[in-house]
A = this chain, B = another copy of it.
Amino acid sequence: MHKFDLSLMFVTDDRIQDDLVFSNILTAALKGGASIIQLREKQRDTLSFYQRALRTKALCASYHIPLIINDRLDIALAVDADGVHIGQKDMPAGVARKLLGDNKIIGLSVSNAQQAAEANVLEVDYIGISPIFATGTKQDDLEPPLGLKGLRAIRDIYQNPITSIGGVHQGNVAEVIQNGSDGVAVISAISKADNPEQATQQLKTIICQTGLNK
């Protein structure tokens, strides 16, 4: 298990096709204080995913912020990303660990207490509770939101860091941290903000202050 800052993960928005707009939002998130970036592309062919990953890696590296890739180990290996975030329908965690080696970050989405218990014995570095609240960003086959009660139950079960994703914004991020999440992951709260850099800063400030007072 190696150290990384899970406090504020920006998950990139695959609805944004334009590369310049994409890079501008990513840069804003990096400047605003995102502590880790997850590149998530569900629609692209492998070549354009790889090309976007190369650009994303270069930007993240210039801010010394780790980059993880959603699902695709081939992309992660190709750009030497810092790790992957896998879902329950992605590569099994043990296979991912074998392919990536011990020095990479592996995160796993969990949607219920049983998956959280299973994650305790997997070689993953953190879990992402998904979804914590209702969200419009990820359209396909999401599980029901776990809510703060579900988060607390999983906090009692899972021994390593937890982040939470789904409908998190400035108005509810404090209670997510207060109820046991080590950080949050957001897409729209940054990508759809009028000012993505300021939105990132504000989220980061709330997370830090709430964490200090826990």
Tell me which residues across on chain B come within 8 A of A73, comparing CB atoms: 74, 77-78
Q: Is the CB of A50 within 8 A of B92?
A: yes
Name A98's closest neighbour in chain B (CB-CB). Answer: B78
Partner pick for A90 among B46, B71, B91, B99, CB 8 A cutoff: B46
Name A48's closest neighbour in chain B (CB-CB). Answer: B89
> A71-99: which have CB < 8 Å to B?
71-74, 77-78, 86, 88-92, 95, 99
Tell me which residues across on chain B come within 8 A of A46, comparing CB atoms: 71-72, 86, 89-91
A95 to B77, CA, bound (A): 10
User: What band does the interface of chain A fall in when counting residues whose beta carbon is under 8 Å from B?
Assistant: 10 to 19
> A124-182: which have CB < 8 Å to B?
none
Q: Counting CB contacts under 8 A, is A47 at the interface?
A: yes
Name A44's closest neighbour in chain B (CB-CB). Answer: B89
Interface string of A191-209 (1 = CB under 8 A from B): 0000000000000000000
Central interface residue in A47, A88, A90, by most chain B CB within 10 Å: A47
Tell me which residues across on chain B come within 8 A of A47, comparing CB atoms: 88-92
A47 to B89, CA, bound (A): 5
A90 to B45, CA, bound (A): 7
Interface string of A18-50 (1 = CB under 8 A from B): 000000000000000000000000000111101
Tell me which residues across on chain B come within 8 A of A90, comparing CB atoms: 45-47
A99 to B81, CA, bound (A): 14
Given the contacts A50-B91, A91-B46, A99 and B77 also touching, CB distance less than 8 Å: yes
A45 to B73, CA, bound (A): 13
The residues of A with any CB-CB pair to B shorter than 8 Å are 45-48, 50, 71-74, 77-78, 86, 88-92, 95, 99
What are the nearest 5 A-B pairs in CB distance?
A73-B74, A74-B74, A45-B89, A46-B90, A47-B89
Known: A47-B91, A78-B91. 5 other contacts (CB 8 A): A46-B71, A47-B90, A48-B89, A50-B92, A73-B74
